[in-house]
Amino acid sequence: MSVTGEECALHCNHCNGHYLQHMVPVAAARRVLESGEYRSILLSGGSDSHGCLPLMEHLAFIEWVHEQGIRINAHVGLQSDADVRALSPYFDKVSLDYVWDDGTIHDVYHLQRSGADYLHAAQGWVDAFSAAGSSEELTSAKQRVNLHLTIGLKGGVVVGEYAAIDSLIAFQPASLVFLVLIPTEGTVYGNVPVVPIDAVESVFAYARLKLPATDLVLGCMYPRVDSYGEQLEHLSRQYQFRGVVGVKPSAEDVEQVEECCVFYK
């Protein structure tokens, strides 16, 4: 569901608001949810010029969804520390795009922010979810913060993904969701080549090496061309991913969940 309809101030090179067109506007969301058919939602939308989604403007709706017992995975963007504290009681999971390379942030997102801002945002949500700071509560809090790293975000070229993984070693995320750039019609990157599968594998292997205790997950955004998805599924098994989205599992003993990838456990 989108809190901004089809509007986004950033016009990012890889999206340009395209994917907002397939979301339910928040104005119509309550009527949809009153059907009782949904166990969870993805609350998303476009960003403002600072990379923040206007979630606080819809706090009454968020509170209502929470009261219905519907789980919320919120695509949060870069919220202020105060808004993180205000919103955290209502979100079961948060999804945060994670970018470390400053050039990618500037050139793709058109933001004057830094990789340090994204790491600060991740830590802020962990702090907000962690009530007293015990090791058990810290682990639980980290499981609610799901970082999303898009391979090839800068025009289909791997730039900064290894450094992004390195930046997370001290943070030790509970999960890391991988996406792969989709060349999307109507965007600056509409005609770039698909990221080579060997480049994707190299990033997967590096993440497994550097973050051995982190759950790796293949998210829903990756090119649906030829056998690309099947190759990603094969790599996901090879590098012991905990979740894979959108590919028919080749193993018979896997659990299938019809919700956002962050609800894999």
What pLDDT does residue 254 have? 66
% pLDDT > 70, the chain: 94
Label residue 169 by pLDDT band (50, 70, 90).
Answer: very high
Q: Which residues contact 132 (CB under 8 A, 6 or more apart)?
A: none
What would the pLDDT profile of 89-102 be if each residue is shown by its tens digit? 999 999 999 999 99
What would the pLDDT profile of 216-246 be if each residue is shown by its tens digit? 999 999 999 989 999 999 999 999 999 998 7
What pLDDT does residue 122 have? 97
Asked whether the beta carbons of 147 and 176 are under 8 A apart, the reply is yes
| pLDDT at residue 134 greater than cutoff 60 | no
| pLDDT at residue 145 greater than cutoff 70 | yes
What pLDDT does residue 256 have? 77
| pLDDT at residue 247 greater than cutoff 90 | no
What would the pLDDT profile of 187-202 be if each residue is shown by its tens digit? 999 999 999 999 999 9
Label residue 258 by pLDDT band (50, 70, 90).
Answer: confident
Global pTM?
Answer: 0.93
What pLDDT does residue 135 have? 56
SS3 state of residue 139: helix
What pLDDT does residue 133 have? 55
In the sheet that holds 175-180, the strands lie side by side as: 40-43, 71-75, 93-97, 145-151, 175-180, 215-218, 243-244
Average pLDDT, integer, range 207-221: 97
